[in-house]
Structure 1
Amino acid sequence: MNSLLTLAKDLEQKSKAQQQTTGEMLKAAFSEHEKSVRAELSESEKRISAAILDHDRKLSSAMRQRTKGMLIASSAGILWWQGQQMLDNYTSIREQKDALEKLNARTWGVRYQEDNQGRFLVLPEGVKADTNWTFDNGRKNGIRLVQE
């Protein structure tokens, strides 16, 4: 029985030693695994950060391009609008000049002038005023312009 007891004690000591060795091996393996995982996580963080920075650069570039496009489109719209305003103004001026020419044709070039000496009708050269005439059976008289 004594040998059985010795055998059990030896087995127990070997088991404890094996348990301790296995624990140390596992501890070393886990430590090595932890270092490897940390290194991979660090590399992954670097790749993700680089990808985010690249995406931000591309997005900023796209936004700058879009802003330039919007500025160009806005400028083109403003220039078109100003051109339309100029065309409308030119048309209005042309119509006013035509109306003035027609009015001058109806008044035979007579102009109105007022100064500190009174009001005057200014006759064009070669035209004289004849004040001794009537129309509508003598009921009305006025000034008739006569070409000389």
Structure 2
Amino acid sequence: MSSLLTLAKDLEQKSKAQQQSTGEMLKAAFSEHEQSVKAELNESAKRISAAMLDHDQKLSSDMSQRTKGMVRMVSQTWLTIVLVSVLLIASSAGILWWQGQQMLDNYITIQEQKRTQAMLSEKNNGVQLSTCGEERLRCVKVNPEAGRYGKDSSWMILERK
């Protein structure tokens, strides 16, 4: 029995030694696997960070271009509004000036005609000249009560003031 006991003790020692050696091999394998996983995770994190940085740069570039485009569009719109406003104001001022000149010319002509009419009325004993009809022909007021004169009765007396 002692050989069985010795054999069991040897088997137990071998089993413990094998268990210890298997544990150390598993520790080494897990450590190596852990290092490999850590390295892969670090590489993956670097790739993700690089991708995020690249995406951020592209997004920033796109936003910058869109901002510049919006600023350009807004400035062009305001420039167009200002130019159109200036042109409208200038053309309105030109039209008002031209109308003012026409009114001044007409006023001067009316004043001259009034002076001429007053002068003619004084020299012709109050006879007033005017324009008559659609063709605006010169005419004078006559006194129909004074009667007609001449061979063909085509003459009449002018009405005085």
TM-score in terms of structure 1 length: 0.71
Structure 1 ranges of 4+ moved more than 4 A:
none
1:116 is aligned to none
- 1:74 paired to 2:63: no
CA distance in 1, matches of 2:67, 2:27: 58
Letter in 1 for 2:52: I
Deviation at 1:87, TM superposition (A): 2.0
- 1:101 paired to 2:120: no
Secondary structure in structure 2 of the residue aligned to 1:107: helix
CA distance in 1, matches of 2:109, 2:45: 91
- Aligned-residue CA RMSD (Å): 2.6
Secondary structure in structure 2 of the residue aligned to 1:108: helix
Tell me the percent identity: 55
CA distance in 2, matches of 1:32, 1:109: 114
Deviation at 1:24, TM superposition (A): 0.4
Q: Which has the higher helix share?
A: 2
Letter in 1 for 2:6: T
Letter in 2 for 1:4: L
TM-score in terms of structure 2 length: 0.65
Q: Which has the higher strand share?
A: 1
Q: How does 1:1-148 map to 2 (within 5 A)?
A: 1-108=1-108
Letter in 1 for 2:107: T
**Structure 2: gaps spanning 5 or more residues:** 127-161
CA distance in 2, matches of 1:81, 1:40: 60
Larger radius of gyration: 2
